[in-house]
Chain A
């Protein structure tokens, strides 16, 4: 009897560990609509469309939805901004922030963003700054942007990530919404569950 004791305990604890890990992975996957996208906390410093300094670290405790774009983008950026406005209207909580970070700081000045952003929603924050800082945010999101001469000789577009990134209350990257997962109602549910 005794010689079976240790192996049984070992086997049992292994099963328990396996169950816990499996349960954890499973609930976490099913808990959110967004794709799990865990990255360590990071920081950036940019200027908002009302010409105020904006540092990510000043907004701990909030859920942040972040997306990239540029004001001359005719097709996708306006849709994403409209969608983020809807999320804000559903959640209706000061602890959620929607950020639009330009990938075209040369043309998207504070004044330009100040004209553009409020057209979509009063509470979306438009951010611009140095290429270095904007690249840092892209790196943290595991994405990139690049200028492309496509429209005409004196015009260009900037390729960028179409995804929306969610930063949790602790400042860490948590979820990612790819372009086919941009349902405002379901994103709002994720945000609410993280604000509880």
Chain B
């Protein structure tokens, strides 16, 4: 009986770290939303995602409490002219970090109200079905500048 209990306790002890690690398969750092300038209803959200698992993961959908629509975009330069295109998903290789940052991948937010407040909730959905909800700060031009130079 005691042996059985010990075995159970040991089993729980060994399994707990696995479950705990399972809680955080993707770590999301520094999420922020650029405050939309007056009169505009579009902006972008940025963050750094780290894949803590041994298999590739893909960000497939995002929604934001601040906008009616959100899509995954990539800013790119073609023949010296810059444009954005929609992408179906953004892959994060196993063990790697991927930055959504100005001039590259971003979450394009459309249908914003004039004043979206100081924070916004981003809901991230991944290929594996996992969902992560993060609170992002809304940054005006001054604070955004600091964040941008921090990433460069």
Closest Cβ of chain A to B69, distance in Å, is 8
Inside 8 A of B145's CB, which chain A residues have their CB?
Answer: 82-83, 86
A-B contact pairs, 12 of them (CB 8 A): A71-B37, A73-B42, A75-B75, A75-B102, A78-B37, A78-B141, A81-B141, A119-B38, A152-B110, A159-B81, A161-B80, A161-B82
| Residue among B34, B82, B148 making CB contact with A159, cutoff 8 Å | B82
Question: Judging by beta carbons under 8 Å apart, are A76 and B37 in contact?
Answer: no
Inside 8 A of B141's CB, which chain A residues have their CB?
Answer: 78, 81-82, 85, 119-120
Question: Judging by beta carbons under 8 Å apart, are B81 and A78 in contact?
Answer: no
The A/B interface has a contact count, at CB < 8 Å, of 89
| Residue among B69, B82, B83, B108 making CB contact with A74, cutoff 8 Å | B108
Inside 8 A of A28's CB, which chain B residues have their CB?
Answer: none
The docked-state distance in angstroms from the alpha carbon of A75 to that of B46 is: 10
Residues of B within 8 A of A (CB): 34, 36-40, 42-44, 69, 71, 73, 75, 77-78, 80-86, 102-103, 106, 108-110, 141, 144-145, 148
Question: Judging by beta carbons under 8 Å apart, are A71 and B84 in contact?
Answer: no
Question: Judging by beta carbons under 8 Å apart, are B38 and A116 in contact?
Answer: yes
Question: Judging by beta carbons under 8 Å apart, are A72 and B42 in contact?
Answer: yes
Most B Cβ at <10 Å: residue of A143, A148, A159, A161: A159
The docked-state distance in angstroms from the alpha carbon of A151 to that of B38 is: 20
Residues of A within 8 A of B (CB): 71-76, 78-79, 81-83, 85-86, 112, 115-116, 119-120, 143-146, 148, 150-152, 155, 157, 159-163, 179
Inside 8 A of A163's CB, which chain B residues have their CB?
Answer: 80
Closest to B69 in A: A152
Closest Cβ of chain A to B136, distance in Å, is 15
The docked-state distance in angstroms from the alpha carbon of A157 to that of B145 is: 23
Are A76 and B102 also in contact (CB < 8 A) when A159-B78, A159-B81 are? yes
Question: Judging by beta carbons under 8 Å apart, are B144 and A78 in contact?
Answer: yes
Closest to A116 in B: B37
Inside 8 A of A155's CB, which chain B residues have their CB?
Answer: 110
Closest to A146 in B: B81
The docked-state distance in angstroms from the alpha carbon of A48 to that of B42 is: 23
The docked-state distance in angstroms from the alpha carbon of A156 to that of B36 is: 17
Inside 8 A of B40's CB, which chain A residues have their CB?
Answer: 71-72, 116
Inside 8 A of A150's CB, which chain B residues have their CB?
Answer: 83-86
Question: Judging by beta carbons under 8 Å apart, are A162 and B84 in contact?
Answer: no
Question: Judging by beta carbons under 8 Å apart, are B42 and A179 in contact?
Answer: no
Question: Judging by beta carbons under 8 Å apart, are B144 and A74 in contact?
Answer: no
**What would 7 more interface pairs be, CB under 8 Å, given A71-B40, A74-B109?**
A73-B42, A75-B106, A75-B108, A78-B34, A152-B69, A162-B82, A179-B103
The docked-state distance in angstroms from the alpha carbon of A81 to that of B102 is: 13
The docked-state distance in angstroms from the alpha carbon of A71 to that of B44 is: 13
Closest Cβ of chain B to A80, distance in Å, is 10
| Residue among B73, B78, B81 making CB contact with A75, cutoff 8 Å | B73
Inside 8 A of A71's CB, which chain B residues have their CB?
Answer: 37, 39-40
